[in-house]
A and B are shown apart, each in its own frame.
Chain A
């Protein structure tokens, strides 16, 4: 904890610097799109939050597997601390997507494949957090939530592809496609800076929340000791 505590201010500073650079680059330097105009700038907050919402679930599933297999208590805490950040990122991706959809598609919400699977991901995050909250004993809650995270990680790809099959309006993947990106350099650079900023932000908040969780557990066990006299 002492080492990670020493890192924390540095990580926060890097987050702030990257965010400032990315926002400056995205909002002032990058040109408006020839078709979408200024609204294209929503991309610089939309894509990083969408990316993180999935990356964080992957991290949670990995941490849950570690918690179940090696019973490492910190993995448990990492998974628990990640969930609200992931849910927040999913909500941010949905909100920015809706604001972007209004000028582009003429409506805030369409039952499009990616929007729908994002919404379902959001529900899975909520269910995960609710399961943590519903079981009092942190050890049992941790294991139950870990099972749920693994079940969710098996199911998410199936949900994604089934929803894709069902209906799609969202533009196809355009950053990571074979033969290079379909987005031009001036748009791409601020986006990658923002993705970096969001990722560092995630780790900063994650470490911070893990600290709090560890302290909360210490208080809990001290109280239990006290109650036992």
Chain B
């Protein structure tokens, strides 16, 4: 457990001090959001209708942007091999790195999401559900993305391949995240979708580290 916390702290510190990764993620989020009114047109009614989906898609892309650095940097400078030699099991290491990734991308995105919703004329009744579903959904993105990052860790120019591997697996999170907000605003109740998101989060916590750890072990042989 101390190993887990140490690793999370180390990765967050690295993310904070290396070229301010958090700001880049948020900037990318804001820029993508800005493109939508420019492309779709400034009409408030249309923007309000698509706001939830746009915010979710932009957050998903922003979370994916930093995935290829998740294991790559440690793989290149050799610290991943040292971590593999540590007494902590590889699965815990993966979980720690995904947690750190979530704290530096998913968490800021979830906090920023309602402000982006405001820019797109989103119904204020949905703000709380939006943040809530993003708090549940973005860790799933980090965990599933971790599998893709682990599989492509040794691959040259793996970024495009990573998005091809990971994006289809992101679909359920996106769907339930958006439906929860829409149904919540319509008064149909967001609860079933929030419960499904929670189930996906628990499933991802339980299963994804095994796959990522297996892929990492294989790529370090």
A binding-site residues for B, Cβ under 8 Å: 68, 120, 123-124, 126-127, 130-131, 134-135, 140, 143-144, 147-148, 150-152, 154-155, 158-159, 162-163, 165-166
Contacts and interface: CB of A to CB of B under 8 A. Distances in A.
Interface of B: 147, 151-152, 154-155, 158, 161, 164-165, 167-169, 171-172, 175-176, 179, 200, 207, 211, 214-215, 218-219, 221
A221 to B, nearest CB: 18
Contact of A154 (B152, B167, B207, B219): B207
A162 B167 contact: no
Interface SS majority for chain A? helix
A178 B200 CA distance: 30
A158 B200 CA distance: 9
A165 to B, nearest CB: 7
A162 B172 contact: yes
Contact of A134 (B147, B155, B175, B200): B155
Contact of B218 (A120, A127, A140, A166): A140
Closest 5 CB pairs of A and B: A162-B172, A127-B165, A127-B164, A123-B168, A162-B175
B171 A134 contact: no
Given A135-B155, A144-B151, A165-B179, A159 B211 contact: no
Nearest to B174: A162
Contacts of B168: 120, 123-124, 127, 155, 159
B172 A144 contact: no
A101 to B, nearest CB: 21
19 contacts: A120-B171, A127-B161, A127-B164, A127-B165, A131-B151, A134-B152, A134-B155, A134-B161, A140-B221, A144-B151, A147-B151, A150-B211, A151-B147, A158-B200, A159-B169, A162-B171, A162-B172, A165-B175, A166-B179
Contacts of A130: 161, 164-165
A151 to B, nearest CB: 5
Given A154-B207, A159-B171, 6 more contacts: A130-B165, A147-B151, A148-B165, A150-B211, A159-B172, A165-B179
A144 B151 CA distance: 6
Contacts of B179: 165-166
B151 A158 contact: no
A126 B211 contact: no
Given A147-B151, A151-B211, A163 B218 contact: no
A126 B163 CA distance: 12
B137 to A, nearest CB: 12
Contacts of A147: 147, 151, 211, 214-215, 218
A130 B179 CA distance: 32
A158 B199 CA distance: 11
Contact of A144 (B171, B200, B207, B215): B215
Contact of B169 (A126, A144, A151, A163): A151
B221 A126 contact: no
Contacts of B165: 127, 130-131, 148
